[in-house]
Amino acid sequence: MRLLIAVLSAALSFAAFAEYPDRPIKLIVPFAAGAGTDAVARFTAQKLEEQLKQPVVVENRVGASGAIGTQAVATAAADGYTLLFVASPFTTVAAATPATANYDPIKQFAPVALIAAGPLVWIANAQAPFATMKEMIAYAKANPGKLAYGSAGAGGVNHLALELFMNKTGTDILHVPYKGIAPATTDLLGGSIATLTGTIPAVLPHVKSGKARALAVTGSKRSALMPDVPTMKEAGANGTEVYNYWGIVAPVGTPVAIVQRLNADVQKFLAQKDVQERLTSDGVDLTPGGPERLAAFIANDYNGWKRLVIDAKLKLE
């Protein structure tokens, strides 16, 4: 009897997978519509829809630096019809504010695919009293607590990039959290704050216009979009590498066969020339690979930020 039940269960699981997907899939984006991550998520949804032959509907669920939308997926049915588009706050917010985040990025999700990863760039207001990263470090040390830095919110990647920077350079910089990086950038251009980190596509127009100065990129190599801008190591801030990333995860317990199907379809569209051109224009590197690649990336990122929170004795709750 047990053997019969096992055989019937396996048959039903196979039948369910064979029909997957037989209805629209929801892709939750825990950030505001129109933001950089949202734009990439919608492009991804379009490409995934072409592979799956079913609508992939983007739903923005914003709030708490991405935690609200993330929590919704953590408790969704593990059937492959509710997915989460993740970016750096998926791990940074959970590491920095675990009680507020109220989710575990490793235990509550099944990694599907890592899509791309790339550095941030430090910029400063064009009128700031420094023009290079080394000059900014010197200024911050000479004026503790007086240099204002804007972030997209407490616990996000922009915020923790600052905490990592201060920890490694021995500086004291005032953190000014905003509800998103867009209003922070507006204030930087207006002179209310002196510096921030942002994605390359978001800040590049301001650098080209002369309204902001690019001080350094947070990756291990220079960006092809800003070849004259040094890395943090080159600029005198070794050990402060930070990467933004994009990927897809599902609720834990999602059948392995469905995760593998979704991953295979992501690999197919990552191989397309228009996808490569689109993502490269965002200053990121494509990161094809199986679910295990995203799992390793998430674990490394999450554990690294947790160590920073402990080492720097951060209290962000």
How much is the pLDDT for 17?
A: 60
Q: What pLDDT digit, counting tens, does each position of 254-269 carry?
A: 999 999 999 999 999 9
**pTM over the 0.75 mark:** yes
CATH of domain 22-118+244-311: 3.40.190.150
Q: What pLDDT digit, counting tens, does each position of 262-313 carry?
A: 999 999 999 999 999 999 988 899 999 999 999 999 999 999 999 999 988 8
How much is the pLDDT for 1?
A: 53
How much is the pLDDT for 317?
A: 65
Scan for tokens 């920073």, then name that residue.
308
Nearest to 36 by CA among 301, 288, 281: 281
CATH class, range 119-217: alpha beta
How much is the pLDDT for 316?
A: 76
What tokens appear for 127 in the block?
């009128």
Report whether pLDDT(191) > 80.
Answer: yes
Nearest to 216 by CA among 111, 132, 300, 113: 132
Q: What pLDDT digit, counting tens, does each position of 44-72 carry?
A: 999 999 999 999 999 999 988 899 999 99
Residue boundaries of the structural domains of the chain: 22-118+244-311, 119-217
Judge contact between 306 and 95, C-beta under 8 A. Answer: yes
- Check for a shared fold between 22-118+244-311 and 119-217: yes
Judge contact between 193 and 148, C-beta under 8 A. Answer: yes
Judge contact between 225 and 200, C-beta under 8 A. Answer: yes
Distance CA 45, CA 24 (A): 11
